[in-house]
Structure formats: C-alpha cells, structure tokens
Chain A
Amino acid sequence: MAMDMTNSFSPTYHLDLKTVENAERFALFVEAVAAGIWDWDIETDEEWWSDRFYQTLGYAPGEIKANYRNWLSNILHPEDRPLVEDAVRQHLQNQVPYRVEVRQKHKTLGYRWFETQGQAKFDSDGKPTRMVGSIIDVHSRKTGQMLQEKYEFLLEEMSAMGNIGAWEYHAGDLSPRWSPQIYAIHGLVEAEQPDLTTAVNYYIPEHRPIIQEAVERGLNEGTDYDVDLQLMMPDGKTKWVRIIGKPFYHTTGAIAGIRGVIMDVNTPKTMELERLRTINLLSSQNNRLQNFAHIVSHNLRSHASNLQMLISFIDQEKDPGQVQLLTKMLRTTSSALTETLDNLGEVIKMQNLTNVKKTQVNLKDVFDKTLIILQGSIEATGIKIASDFAAFSTIDFDPVYAESVVLNLVSNAVKYHDPSKTSWVNLYTHISDEGRLGLSVQDNGLGMDLDNIGDRLFGMYKTFHNNADARGLGLFLTKNQVESMGGIIEVQSRPSYGTTFTVWF
C-alpha cells in the first residue's frame, strides 16, 4: 500500500530522501504505527501532520492548517501550554528528552489526553532545524489512571479516618494479605504477613473460636460474617474491632477465599457497653428504690396503723386484764416495726456497692460456715444436707455476698421443707456447656407454683408459704447480690416435689 508522497507532504517541505525505496518504507511505517506523526520546521514554523495525526484529532487530512502556532493556540489546552513550551525549550537547549502528556482539542469530543514525544535535529552549529515526533491518544488510560488515583486517595483517606483495614485470605495456602491500616489497628509494625493461626491468636482467647469458625464456614459454605470481637494489643490492653468477611469465587464457582475489612470500633463499642452497664445499674437501683417506697408505703404504715389502733384501745380500756393483753400486742407490733427497720438497713447497705470486692472465695468454706449457722434448725427438722464441689469449688465473688447467698438459699430449703417426707438438701457445683460456672441448691421440699408467682418471687416482702419465719427479704437480697457480681439466679420448682435454685457466676 504505497502512499502518494507528493500529496501527503506539504509543498514547502523538503524531505531529504535518497531513494524511492526509502520513501516507500517511510510511508509504510507512518501508516503502520498507531501514532500520528508530526514534523516541525523550526525555521519556518511550518509543520507536516500525518493523516493519522488529523484523524486522531477528529479531522480529515489537511482540514486545518498544520503549523506550530496554530497547534499551540487552538489545539493544545491553554493550561498545558506552559508545560509544552518549557519541555520544548528544555529539549532544544539542553537535549532533555521531549515527552509530555497533554490535552488537545478533538474536533467533536472536546479535550482529550495525548502523549506526544519528539526528537529535534541540530545543524553543525548545534542549532535546531527541525523536530519530528508522534502523538498517541492515551485518553482512556489517562482518565482511568486519574480515576484510580482518585479512588486510591479516597480509599487511603477513608481507611485512615475510619480506622478501617482491608484483608484477604486465599483458600488453599490460607495466607492472609493485610493492608497497612490493619497493622496499625493491631498495634503492630508492618512486617511479613501473619498466617491464619497467628492472626486468630491476636484476639482474646474467648473470641478466637468465633473468628476461627467464621473463617472456616466462609471458606467451606460461602457464608458472610460480621462480628464484633476484642483484639489483644501488644501493650496488654484490649480493643474492640468489627470484622466483616465475604467469600469471593473462582470463575469455576469454587470459593477462592475470603476478603473483608477490619474496623476499629473500640470507642463506640466501649461507650455502648458502658451505656448498657449504666442502664442495668440504674434499673436495678430504680428497682430497689421502688421496693424501698413499697416498704415505706406498706410495711411501715401497717405497723404504724396497728400501733395507733392499739394505743387508742388502751386509752379507752378500763379492765386491767385487757390493758395487759393490749400492751403485750403493742410490744409484738413494736418489735415487728424494729425488724422492718433492720431490713431497711440491709437494703441500704446493698445500695452502697463501693465496698464490694471480688476475690477468690472457697465455696466449701462458705458452705461449712452456713451449716454452723443453721445447725439448730437442721437438727430440729432432721434434714439431710449433702454437698458436692467436684466440678469446682472456687469462685470470683464478694466473700460477704457469697456467705449471704449460700445462707439464704440453704436456709430457704430448710425453712420450706416438707414435714411429711424425709427431707434432703443438695448443694453442688457444675459447669454448663458454654463453660459457665453454676451452683445449685436443690431440695425435695414444699415447692412453689411458679406460674402463679412469676417474677414476684424475687421481690421484697413476698412470701409464698404461710410460714411464721418467712420474711420475704432473703431472695430479694440474694438476687441483688448475685446480679451486682454479674451473675444470674434461676429457679425451677414444682409444688410438693421441691425447688432448685441455681446461681450462674
């Protein structure tokens, strides 16, 4: 495909071609390359532009005047002009290679990015005479690259601002790939990528099985996960992080690995937990206050009204025998009032949680102490009391509370025994499937109908048996003591079969 050189070349332009063969070869070359070619006569300022040069800019060959001035003023983006002029000067004066990325105005598409490079020819005096070069449309690459740079910048800023790091695990080798932010979140210096076991071990022991299982399920079943877990930092502190993981797939559909993000959520999570703790504290305090109001409203008033009535009777009574009887009743009421006031004192003590401290408490010692205190009533009722501390015998609890809890539960079991059968109480420790420590006090006593009693069981001054000793305060105190130590108390009961109280520490 030979090319008509006389048509393509500017008539004012003199090409130094020795042979037609050379000319043909040059024409072929110009046609074959994807670039537009320009040839600038520096002395005349005239230029020759190849057909492809015109086409690249959306023009028909020869449609606009090919010279350097025209190009500078009308084709080149005004903002890029200083760059071009400077680069050309540097090339012509100092032979710095000429290669720039600039915007040029396409006939219909507006400004587009081009890469242009060129080489000048110098005469024997070192004066430049002409310069030949090429232009290539690099618009998609350049805009793509700019977009990528923009996203990279945004991503970097966002991950730094949001304390978010990205990671990827590939199925098979299971080597995680961590972004720099993940090292920062872990409090580690950027080093070699840790293996999965190492990465899992950065979490606190209780949380390791959770992340391990999430990763395994993700790899085997393709399930997503989104969990809040605590990291163990190198300084020994812990940090809440949110880990989101999603599997990704090979083109075959097989799971290729998991990728996701880790976010530092320590501040919001700590605040959330603190809020929950405060709410729990407030609602339990509110509960105690309501019970308080109840004692004042009911129990104190009932004693007061009895006193008032008895005194008015004594005032009117003439018979000394009757007065003596009334005085005796007055004394009974007065001591009942004193007991209520003592109970109030116990509740006030509960309010003041500052003296409460968790230490290692041996349940066996606590149990032995309880037996000594209850010795009288145990012997009087003939109840058999057994204990079993095989599962564990030490708990982290306030020692005074521990004694109070065990005493209350055992004395309740003794108090509400069923006189019609051989009574027994069994106190034993056990560990749940979830690893929680439990202490149960089981009896074969009177039992209760829990459907009827419901949540009133642990209320203050609620008694459910017509028993002279029933004070209705024990279970209220027990529940509050257990809960203030972060525990739970549960009850199972069936009338005439017996009751089991379980404290989970």
Chain B
Amino acid sequence: MRKLAKVCLIDDDQIYLFAMRRIIQHLELCDTVEDFSNPETALAAFRNWPDGMPDLIMVDINMPVMDGWQFLSMYQTIVSKLSTKPALYMVSSSIDEADVERANLHPLLDGYLVKPITAEKLLAIFGQD
C-alpha cells in the first residue's frame, strides 16, 4: 500500500473530523490531513493549490449553506483542468436509497461511504489507490 501525501476531509461535524484524523494518523495512511468544516473554504483552498491538490477527498452530504451536491458542481470546474484528479468519496450517515443511487451515478465520485467510517473501510479505500 502506497502512503498518500495529502488527504482532505470536508464535514461540518467536528467530532467526525477529529475521529477521522485520529484513525488516519494512527494507521499512518498519509502525511498530511487537511480538514474543512465549510466546503466553500475548501474550494477556496483548492483554487490556491494548483500543484498541491490532495490525493483523496472525502466530502459529507449534509452540510449547512452548501451541501455535498452543491460542492460537487463547484468542484467540477476546478478539477476539469487537472490532468490527474484526486479520488473523491461522498460520505454520509444517510442510508437513504436516493442518496446512494445519486452518488453511484455521479461521474466525479469514486464511491459512497456510510458513517461510521471504520479503519477497515479506510484501508479498503487507501488500498485501491
């Protein structure tokens, strides 16, 4: 398994961010973990990182102001210019069939993950890369 350089987490749930950072660091899956509780801040950061895009992004569906789906449409314009696109996963505690279906059909998404995200699930994703 290759160790990733940078992982980006976007979620408004502080407890979740804390837990994810802890698991990723504990498993030594990557060098840098960036987290954003507001997707707009994340998008602004991506625009300023022409060479430093993360290798993997995990974004939550349910967030105030801009939700995961709205984030995706903004994100599309940023990554369309990139030659290698980061792996992108939608994360939610929703087990709503409609959300799962929509995520599976979305061309930008590599997968849909249901919370809680366990070490096993993370290992499976990082192993694929």
Query: Can you list, as one digit per residue, whether each of A175-214 has a CB less than 8 Å from chain B (1) or not (0)?
Result: 0000000000000000000000000000000000000000
State whether B93 touches A302 (Cβ < 8 A).
Answer: yes
Q: Which residues of A contact B18 (CB under 8 A)?
A: 329
Residues of A249-306 at the interface with B, using a CB-CB cut-off of 8 Å, are 293-294, 297-299, 301-302, 304-306
Given contacts A298-B94, A470-B64, contact A310 B115 (CB under 8 A): no
A310 to B22 alpha-carbon distance, docked (Å): 10
- Cα distance, A464 to B64, chains bound together (Å): 5
Closest-CB distance, B116 to chain A (whole angstroms): 3
Say whether A465 contacts B65, CB under 8 Å.
yes
CB closest chain-A residue, reference B15: A306
User: Does A309 sit at the interface, judged by CB under 8 A?
Assistant: yes
Q: A302-B115, A465-B64 are in contact. Are A297 and B96 (CB under 8 A)?
A: yes
Q: Are B64 and A466 in contact (CB under 8 A)?
A: yes
Complex formed: what's the CA distance from A310 to B17 in Å? Answer: 12
Q: Which residues of B contact A462 (CB under 8 A)?
A: 64
Interface size bracket, B side: 20 to 34
Residues A298 and B92 in contact, CB atoms below 8 Å apart: yes
B104 contacts chain A at the CB level, 8 A cutoff = no
Residues of A in contact with B, size category: 20 to 34
B54 to chain A, nearest CB (A): 22
User: Which DSSP category, helix, strand, loop or mixed, fits chain B's interface?
Assistant: loop
Bound CA span A333–B93, Å: 15
Cβ of B19 within 8 Å of any chain A Cβ, yes or no, is yes
Q: How far is the CA of A416 from the CA of B28 in the complex (A)?
A: 42
State whether A305 and B115 are in contact (beta carbons under 8 Å apart), knowing that A298-B92, A310-B15 are contacts in the complex: yes
With A306-B116, A309-B116, A329-B18 known as contacts, the answer to whether A298 contacts B64 (CB < 8 A) is: no
Of B19, B38, B65, the contact of A310 (CB 8 Å cutoff): B19
Does A452 lie at the interface of the complex (its beta carbon under 8 Å from any beta carbon of B)?
yes
Residues of B close to A301: CB separation below 8 A? 93-95, 115
- Besides the known contacts A305-B16, A464-B64, A466-B12, 19 further A-B residue pairs in the complex with CB atoms under 8 A apart: A297-B95, A298-B62, A298-B92, A299-B93, A301-B95, A302-B62, A302-B115, A304-B93, A305-B93, A305-B116, A309-B15, A309-B19, A309-B23, A329-B15, A329-B18, A452-B70, A461-B62, A463-B65, A470-B64
